Amino acid sequence: MPTVSNGKISSRKKIVIGVCAMKRKATSKPMREIMAKIVEYYADWLEYIVFPEEVILNEPVEKWPLCDCLISFHATDFPLHKAIEYERLRRPYVINDLHRQYDLLDRRKVFRALARAGIEHPRHGVLIRDQNGKVEGELIEHNDHIEVNGMVFNKPFVEKPLSAEDHNVYIYYPSSVGGGSQRLFRKINNRSSWYSPVSTVRREGSFIYEDFIPADGTDVKVYAVGPYYAHAEARKAPGLDGKVERDSHGKEVRYPVILSSKEKTIARKVVIAFGQTVCGFDLLRANGKSYVCDVNGFSFVKTSTKYYEDTAKILGNTILRRLASSMSIPWQIPYQDDDPPLVSTPSGKMMELRCVLAVIRHGDRTPKQKMKVVVTDKRFFDLFRKYDGFKKNEIKMKRPTQLMEVLELAREILHEQQVNIPCSLFCVLCIAWEGGSPILFCLWRVFLFFSYENDVSAGFVDALPQ
């Protein structure tokens, strides 16, 4: 890992990425993996440094290391205001908007931003209490519902602290299922929540009250990198039974999730709405819709090599596209994985693959069971004329009355002629057999008999399956 220098960067041949975050975040496995791959993929253009935690906490921003691109994000005890001062002083290219990170700390502001962006989120009401106990808003509590500023929330409903840093979220149950509440908290060993018989809401602090959205016991975690990339995983909802499912390595069990096109659009909107290139948020799927219930800001997938590789490429390209030309760094924009490849032909021309079209149709359907029979009797031509067959060169007879008419005609001719009806190419009668009704089966037997001439006796028809 490159060393930190408090002096001015002497060489401008490479773009310096500065990681400014608390030590536990800056040196976490996902961060180390991603930054190592950035250097691996872009060794000729990019390098990175990590701001020491003691410098971040104790030194003025004038003494912080210099960088061209800043990756900085809030965590517990992180001085976000100092990072903003550093941005004003040095003017680096910032991956995640620092000012907007204040909004992520207030669940009320998060919902406002989601509403402005047109993103589906739970219906909610807000109750504010200051340190002196003064209440902004009105709360009326009943046995199985509450009223917040005139809005009614029937149990089950969710009670969240206004501060996004407070993870003590309560879910209140109706008396019809025994009442009480499920109390969620940050994972402690193998627990993420516990049940309490208390059914009354908290009376100290500021809270947001939300409709409970049933999501089949799962939460979907979405990790976006830029507006066009999103990785998603599902886990067991902490409010289900409070027990954390872990694999053989002690990691929480996650399941891969494929996002719908609407959910990918939601991810893009979240990234743009909050100005966070790297951003995580929670989705709830219910009633055919997807709701954003929480936006976490800078978040990484814990165990996914593919995600690390993709993130490194996206961030590396984003930084170089932004800074390479202004810093006179020779760099040619590479084609992304989603860019159409250029292929050389023997003539030396360049061909561009625009798209691949595939037409797929399933073959799981009942055969039409069509049969063609040559007939010569004038009465068939009269029938053909009766249904305007000469105008369209065909007739389609599907109604039971029509099929019965053909059957009676066939029986009449068969009775008159018995066997050996000569065949000539005057008319072709097509009968579509879809349902296998007794009428159609009789027609099939009669016309099959007609299709055979002298070498087939009437006994062939009698030998057919009944």
Determine, yes or no, domain membership for 352.
no
Pair (134, 80) in one structural domain: no
Pair (313, 262) in one structural domain: no
Looking at residue 412, its pLDDT comes to 86
Looking at residue 429, its pLDDT comes to 41
3-state secondary structure the chain: CCCCCCCCCCCCCCEEEEEECCHHHHCCHHHHHHHHHHHHHCCCCEEEEECCHHHHHHCCHHHCCCCCEEEECCCCCCCHHHHHHHHHHHCCEECECCCCHHHHCEHHHHHHHHHHCCCCCCCEEEEEECCCCCEECCEEECCCEEEECCEEEECCEEEEECECCCCCEEEECCHHHCCCEEEEEEEECCEEEEEECCCCCCCCCCEEEEECCCCCCEEEEEEEECCCCEEEEEEECCCCCCECCECCCCCECCEECCCCHHHHHHHHHHHHHHCECEEEEEEEEECCEEEEEEEEECCCCCCCHHHHHHHHHHHHHHHHHHHCCCCCCCCCCCCCCCCCCEEECCCCCEEECCCCCCCCCCCCCCCCCCEEEEECCHHHHHHHHHCCHHHHCCCCCCCHHHHHHHHHHHHHHHHHHCCCCCCCCCEEEEECCCCCCHHHHHHHHHHHHHHCCCCCCHHHHHHCCC
Judged by DSSP in three states, 276 sits in strand
Determine, yes or no, domain membership for 120.
yes
Of 273, 304, 335, the position where a domain reaches its end is 304
Domain count, the chain: 3
Determine, yes or no, domain membership for 353.
no
Determine, yes or no, domain membership for 121.
yes
Pair (71, 154) in one structural domain: no
Pair (136, 250) in one structural domain: yes
- Report the alpha-carbon angle 206-207-213, nearest 5: 175
Determine, yes or no, domain membership for 24.
yes
Q: What is the residue range of 91's domain?
A: 15-96+308-323
CATH assignment of the domain containing 82: 3.40.50.11950
Pair (146, 264) in one structural domain: yes
Locus of tokens 């990756």: 71
Pair (222, 159) in one structural domain: yes
Pair (155, 233) in one structural domain: yes
Of 304, 338, 358, the position where a domain reaches its end is 304
Task: State residue 166 phi and psi, 5-degree precision.
Answer: -95, 115
> Tens-of-pLDDT digits for all 466 residues of the chain?
444 444 444 455 799 999 999 999 999 999 999 999 999 999 989 999 999 999 999 999 999 999 999 999 999 999 999 999 999 999 999 999 999 999 999 999 999 999 999 999 999 999 999 888 789 989 999 999 999 999 999 999 999 999 999 999 999 999 999 999 999 999 888 899 999 999 999 999 999 999 999 888 889 999 999 999 999 999 988 888 888 888 888 888 888 899 999 999 999 999 999 999 999 999 999 988 999 999 998 999 988 899 999 999 999 999 999 998 877 777 665 555 544 444 444 445 556 677 888 888 776 666 666 777 788 888 888 888 888 888 888 888 888 888 888 888 888 888 887 655 444 333 334 444 444 445 555 555 555 555 544 344 333 334 334 4
Pair (145, 268) in one structural domain: yes
Determine, yes or no, domain membership for 294.
yes
Looking at residue 293, its pLDDT comes to 94
CATH assignment of the domain containing 283: 3.30.470.20
Determine, yes or no, domain membership for 350.
no
pTM score, whole prediction: 0.68
- Report the C-alpha gap between 85 and 79 in whole angstroms: 10
Biggest CA pair distance of the chain: 113
Pair (187, 207) in one structural domain: yes
Pair (288, 417) in one structural domain: no
Of 291, 323, 355, the position where a domain reaches its end is 323
Q: In a 10 Å sphere around its CB, with 0-12 CB exposed, 13-18 middle and 19+ buried, how is residue 210 labelled?
A: buried
Pair (79, 131) in one structural domain: no
Determine, yes or no, domain membership for 129.
yes
Pair (121, 184) in one structural domain: yes
Looking at residue 170, its pLDDT comes to 96
